[in-house]
Structures are given as C-alpha cells and as structure tokens.
Amino acid sequence: MLLWFVGKGTVTIRELTSSRGWRATPGRTAARLAALGVLAVVGLAPNPLPAYDFYPPGVVSSAGAVRWEAGAFPLRFRILDTGAFPEYTGLNAEIWRGIVLRGISAWVEVETADISIMLDAGTLAAGGAADDGINTIGFEAREEWGNDRASAVVTWRGRRITECDVLFDPAILAGWPEDDPQVVAWAAHFLEDVVVHEIGHCLGLRHVPANPVWLGQGANAPGWPPGFLPEPLAGLSPDPQMSTAASYGVPRLTPDDRIGVSLLYPAPGFLEGRGSIGGRLVTPEGEPAAFLYVQAVDYASGSAVFGPGAFADEQGQFLLEGLPAGPVHLWARPTLLYMERPGYQKAQVWELLDEHRWFSVRPGLAAIVPDITLRAGRSPPS
C-alpha cells in the first residue's frame, strides 16, 4: 500500500509495514536501462523486474533514482520522545536507543557503500510534520494505523531526498504471548529488523519481490536429488531485508540489499569494478519463460554464495545491476510463489524449468547475453 502526498514540488511517499507481513506495492514499469559508465545495450524490452527497486516508482536502474546528496551525510536522526513503548516488552528509552543504533549500523557497515548516519543524543516531541527538515524515528499512536504497524515517510525534491521519518505503532507487538519469558528478547530482535528495513527506505530503497521458495521447499534435505541445485550449492539464500514478503529474522543484509544501496552511494572504486547483465529466458519450445527467478552465484570464496537476484518479466527478460567484474554464474530457477501478485501466478506454468550458466561481467558495461533456454522434465522429490 502506498500513500502519496504531493505539493510545492515536494513528493512524500509512505511505505507501510503490516502486522501480517509486507504489503505488495503496485507493479513497476521501467523508465530506462542505464549502465555503470559506458552503456552497451541492444534489444532489451522496457520492463524487466529489477533486483533492486528505487524511488521514484517505475525506476529500474539506479541511474534515475532519487537519493541523498553527498553533503547531507552524516544523516542525523532524532528519537521521538513519546514514552509510547509496546507493553509487556520491558522496552525503555535506553534499550530502544540501542535497538535503533544497531539497525542503523547494519547499513553504515556496508563496505561497498559510502554512508554515515548519526543518532542525536537529544530527543524530539511527537507531532512533527513531514518536510520539516528533521529526520525522526520512534513510537507514536495514530488512529489511522489499522493493521499497518510501521511506516517510513520519505520526502524528496527533484532527485534529492530531503527528509525521512520512521514511525512505529505502539501496538506493533499486539497478539504476542505476554507470559512467555522470551518475549523481551524476541521483541528487541524483531524491532531491530524493522528498523533495518525502514532505514533502508530512508536511504532510497523500495520494496523488491521476495526470493522465491524453491519448488518442493526441501532443497536442503539429505535425499534431495542431484541437479536441482547447481553444484556445489548446499542451501538457499534468505529473502532480502527490503523484500515485500521478507520474513523478519534475516540475520544480515543480503547481497540484494548491499549492492542496491551501494549503487546509490558507492564507496570509492565500487562502480569501476561493476557491470550489469540483462537477457531473456525461454522455454525449450522457444517461448518466453515469464516470472522465473534469476540469481547470481559467487564461488570465489571457496563456498557458494548467493548474489543478487531478480524475477524475469512477462517476456522472460531480466536485469541484474552492480555485479562484480569477471565470470558470474547465473541460475534461473522455478518458483513456488506465495505473494498475491496477479501476474506472478503464471510462474507456476514453468515450475519444472531451470538452468545455470557462466557469463562474463565487464566493468562499466551493461551486457545483453544470448537467450537462456531452460531445461524441463525434472520432478521434485515425492
């Protein structure tokens, strides 16, 4: 759900978190495809679903995204002083400040991004309006919350973000077991994950599609047959922290999150060693394979590491931006989708298709690879 407020050249967008999970945002259309440096693109259709999603809605590449100017760093946030903490969690001002600091540090510690954020020692009374020039974070009871329990309100002018306010409903933990001795620890962990997510919005990242659940959901079981995971993959990657359907509890930012924010605020040398790959997935009959998932896999460290991934669009086309230069292993795989997104249900048609191949990423270029024909006919374990 997206709520827009427009006036006097300022755009404010509110991303809402529901107590039942992330709400899907409207479908996106690409504004343009931009390379990192020199652009070399031929024949890519206009709306691949991105590995990362930026403001304003409809931007596929980071080149057209809104962001904070370099002079805005360090970003300064102030905690709202309302005392409206969730009940029965033991939460107080000191514990809450620690939770916020840990959530902020997840983004500051991304080595490939040039980000600095400060949490002011002073607090601020509730009731501040968007576009007042002060970034805030805290709990505030509001009649309009409904099932939406957290909100990041991002304000920008032109292509420059000017403010972000993160608000939490004091009832965000409603329904949690009050008498469970673990509730205090659970609440702190949960709230830290929400802070990480909302600060991601403040930096300019929107919701992205969730990583798909692999067909059969038992890919790590001992009896899983060879071939369903590219060797020597031993497991699947978690949903990105910024996913529309992210399960809270992700212990770290995934490559989707880290690369996405690094494209907005690159550390020195990041862009020089990165490139992009786009292409098209087709069935054995040569038809577009819509809404499969394409993910990069990096074996350089000696153990398989999942990189960023993206859904192919209705024409089977995909775009992965910000990949390290050199050989990259792309895995196109079937999905077992659980999001209520009309077009994505078509993915079930290709649930027995997958393919993994090596390609070369060239720094500063967006390369279009030949059509990837998927293999068919394999069945999941019974």
- For 91-141, write each residue's pLDDT tens digit: 888 889 999 999 999 999 999 999 999 999 888 876 655 667 889 999 887
Residue 31 has pLDDT above 60, yes or no: no
CB contact at 8 A, 74 and 119: no
In angstroms, the CA 256 to CA 243 distance is 9
Helices (H), the chain: 93-108, 183-203, 255-264
Residue 145 has pLDDT above 50, yes or no: yes
> pTM score, two decimals?
0.81
165 and 250, same domain (yes or no): no
Q: What CATH number does the domain containing 213 carry? A: 2.60.40.10
55 and 103, same domain (yes or no): no
Given 158, 176, 203, the domain boundary residue is 203
135 and 272, same domain (yes or no): no
101 and 197, same domain (yes or no): yes
166 and 79, same domain (yes or no): yes
Which of 123-127, 262-266, 372-376 is modeled with the greatest confidence?
Answer: 262-266
pLDDT confidence band for 240 (50 / 70 / 90) = confident
161 and 255, same domain (yes or no): no
For residues 227 and 10, the model is more confident at 227
In angstroms, the CA 327 to CA 287 distance is 27
Given 157, 173, 203, the domain boundary residue is 203
β-strand 75-80 against 372-373: which pairing, if any? unpaired
- The tokens for 188 are 């702190």
CB contact at 8 A, 111 and 253: no
Residues 6+ apart with CB under 8 A from 192: 99, 102, 103
Residue at 262: amino acid letter: S
382 and 282, same domain (yes or no): yes
226 and 166, same domain (yes or no): no
Q: Quick one: which of 337, 373, 371 has its CA closest to 354?
A: 373
Q: What is the pLDDT of residues 297-309, one digit of tens each?
A: 887 766 677 888 8
Q: What average pLDDT does this structure show over 76-81?
A: 91
Which residue segment(s) compose the domain that 241 sits in?
31-63+207-382
Given 188, 203, 218, the domain boundary residue is 203
321 and 352, same domain (yes or no): yes
172 and 82, same domain (yes or no): yes
Task: Report percent pLDDT > 70 for the chain.
Answer: 68
In angstroms, the CA 292 to CA 318 distance is 9
Output the pLDDT for position 276.
Answer: 92
340 and 227, same domain (yes or no): yes
β-strand 274-282 against 293-298: which pairing, if any? unpaired
Which of 81-85, 217-221, 247-251 is modeled with the greatest confidence?
Answer: 81-85
315 and 340, same domain (yes or no): yes
How many structural domains is the chain composed of? 2
For residues 228 and 162, the model is more confident at 162
Residue 343 phi, psi dihedral angles, 5° rounding? -70, -30
CB contact at 8 A, 243 and 23: no
